[in-house]
Structure 1
Amino acid sequence: MEQYTGHFMQHLPYLRRYARALTGTNGRGDALVTRTLEWYLEADEAETGRGGDLSRGTLYRHLNELQDEEGSPPAVAPYHPVESALMTLEETDRRLYLLVNLEDLPVSEAAAVLGIAPEDAMERLNHARERVRARLTATILIVEDDAIIAFDLAETVRGMGHIVCGNAATMDEALSLAAEHRPTLALMDIRLADGDNGLEVARALRARRFLPVIFVTAFPDDLAKHGLEHLGPVIPKPFTRDQIEQAITRAVFMPQPEDAHETAQPH
């Protein structure tokens, strides 16, 4: 029995890592690993492979079976972007992604764990990777009438791997670009060309649909003066690239409010 336990313990760090990712929490993951150890020690040798070389794939498969029996959906950390992206996948594709990308299994072995054909697994994995990549890429609208600052913001956005869908210097340009590209975030100056005001742009965008806004402005007190702090966080000018990057990361991966996908009512 001690020999069998030693075989299992060689795989323990990998099993805990996968089980925690599978369930979404450390506690639930460790509970699955404990139940898998009990199964390994008590079940028939032919079922567990206990009499020969112990396969990690066999243990991963049993972890999946236990998770299916439990029937509880995996938990997801609301501020963890990769976990949030993976939760948009079908469960088989999520597990395939974890087995290959987290556990470093060859696609053929991961396919065997999940009971699917290797060619099907490769197609599903490519689809899953593309879905995750797209989910982690934001489309950002820049609303700024200073060309040099707009260029600097755009370079920062692209350097993070996100997409700049356009730069607007006026309210009409901003609303037109937003309607055409449906961005996931806007970087917004307050004082714009032609006397336009970024606060009104943000309110107009919220009236159409929910869109997170980060105000990048030399007039940070304007939101408080008008009681509009709820429209978004403020980065005062002059700013650093680190400030912009941190704000974008928080905004892109922050859980949206319950009515985020509903049309907001104008104030």
Structure 2
Amino acid sequence: MSISQIVAQHLPYLRRYARALSGSQQSGDAYVAATLEALVEDPSILDLGSSTRVGLYRLFTKIWNSVGINGVTVEDSGDQPVERHLSQIAPMPRQAFLLIALEGLSEDEAAKVLDIEVPELRELVDQSGRELAAEIATDVLIIEDETFIALDLEALVEGLGHKVLGVARTHTEAVTLARAKQPGVILADIQLADGSSGLDAVNELLRSFEVPVIFITAYPERFLTGERPEPAFLIAKPFQPATVSAVLSQALFFARKAKRKERKAS
């Protein structure tokens, strides 16, 4: 199997990670593309000392930490390190947290990706946890037709300090609940109990107001090929609670950052 074929196996996961860091698939894909371009130009830069995935994420991190969004480089970004500029790049604690919680890397693997020692990685993850805990709680709408999964999500969301507005099992219930009280974030399945679509329900709601959306589904291909709302994140079933926690925190973080930019612009 060629290097390109091996790398291709890890691209969906790298795109997910880049999406979570940047806040949009377009921005994330720009960094992934830059990583692939660098790899095509010089295949030897891919460090395969541990694994292809770790080597690919390590190369991506070098690109991420040296090139800012909209082409702003480290040298152009001012007198502070680029990772301190939240408008350009997620800080190191969030990178560490996502590598562990979202991407499922071991501490050793995540430390190699970030080119740090394990003790420093643990400090970064702890710091990120404190930052995430300080985030303002919000109201959550859950669109899920499977009772036990809905209960698990409800307990997880409330454990993070958020309030669940309600659980909708159909398109109609989702629209009714959301219009009664606008949620701060939506967790949605795609295939619902009555054959309706959570994706259609979300797209209908987003025509009235903007809110971050996290799709949690056993049918990710329906999200990837359908009309994708933005901002939206994707988690495949079966999911890990830590993954939901990480993505939920990132979704709220980028939504609030966008609102702060809008207020400043006005």
- So what's the TM-score if we normalise by structure 2? 0.46
| Max Rg structure | 1
- So what's the TM-score if we normalise by structure 1? 0.46
